Amino acid sequence: MTHDDGADDLGGVEAGDHAGAEGSDEAGDEAGDAGQQAEHRWPMALATLTAGVLHQFLPADFLVSPRWIFPAFLVVFLGVLIAGDPGLIDRQRPWLKVTTGLMIALIAVVNAVTAIRLVRGILWGQSFEAAGPLLAVGAIVWTTNIIIFALWFWDFDGGGASARAAAHHRGAAAFVFPEMSNPDLVPPRWTPQFVDYLTLSFNTATAFGPTDVSALRRSAKLMMIAESSISLALATLVVARAVNIM
């Protein structure tokens, strides 16, 4: 082998090492971006536990029996989710998606049962002899409903939190947030997190329609219609009955 051949081989090795290093750096940067996008679980966990705690303040006639079973199930669901995806929410596993959906469905069913009992008590003039307890139950059902739809929006949009955190995720978004139209005003690779969906749910329940966030998919629009309708009907019935009692 000549000296020139040896130099060429050495140069090729160095170039390959340099390219490999650059590739590793790029992969590391992409992983870092994905990690920065992933969100913490504690905001949705706090909202979930809040729904369980609020239920405990309901009168006995509106509680799921036995009293402890609903919050106990919520704690179990959260424990399974945290054990399966500790730290940031960045693991895409079908069973984690199913577990999250079942937990949200449980909260929705329990709140629906309470709402039905509330409406029955209002329409048939039972359960309430004073406006205070009626307004308290109505406020708990209304607040829990906001939490439920926030969780649905959060788990539905773009395939869920873990899918949104993927480095090259291009899933179909269900909502357009103002930050998406103003990329210069937000951090790079910004993605909506639970607090953004909680704000969306609160605005939908109070304004009875979209505000700064637009729904793109028909299913998302139907979800917003459902939340607005429930909120409007609940507020109308509770306030009207409370005024009648006073």
- Asked which of 2-6, 92-96, 120-124, 163-167 is least confident by mean pLDDT, the reply is 2-6
pLDDT score of 8: 47
Q: For 115-132, how does the pLDDT look when each residue is reduced to its tens digit (9 = 90+)?
A: 999 998 888 866 677 888
Q: For 194-238, how does the pLDDT look when each residue is reduced to its tens digit (9 = 90+)?
A: 999 999 999 999 987 778 899 999 999 999 999 999 999 999 999
Q: For 8-25, how does the pLDDT look when each residue is reduced to its tens digit (9 = 90+)?
A: 444 444 444 444 444 444
Average pLDDT, the chain: 84
For 33, phi then psi, to 5°, come to: -60, -40
Angle at 149 between CA 218 and CA 70, to 5 degrees: 140
Burial (CB count within 10 angstroms: exposed 0-12, middle 13-18, buried 19+), residue 195: middle
- SS3 of the chain: the string is CCHHHHHHHHHHHHHHHHHHHHHHHHHHHHHHHHHHHCEECHHHHHHHHHHHHHHHCCCHHHCCCCCCHHHHHHHHHHHHHHHHCCCEECCCCHHHHHHHHHHHHHHHHHHHHHHHHHHHHHHCCCCCCCHHHHHHHHHHHHHHHHHHHHHHHHHHHHHCHHHHHCCCCCCCCCEECHHHHCHHHCCCCCCCCHHHHHHHHHHHHHHCCCCCCEECCHHHHHHHHHHHHHHHHHHHHHHHHHHHHC
Residue 129 · residue 241 · CB < 8 Å: no
Give the mean model confidence (pLDDT) for residues 34-47.
82
Specify the amino acid at residue 154.
W
Rounded Cα–Cα distance for residues 215 and 201 (Å)? 12
Which residues 6+ apart lie within 8 Å of 204 measured at CB? Answer: 149, 210, 211, 224, 227, 228, 231
Q: For 149-173, how does the pLDDT look when each residue is reduced to its tens digit (9 = 90+)?
A: 999 999 999 889 998 888 555 557 8
Rounded Cα–Cα distance for residues 81 and 97 (Å)? 9
The rounded Cα 38 to chain-centroid distance in angstroms is 13
Which residues 6+ apart lie within 8 Å of 30 measured at CB? Answer: 167, 168
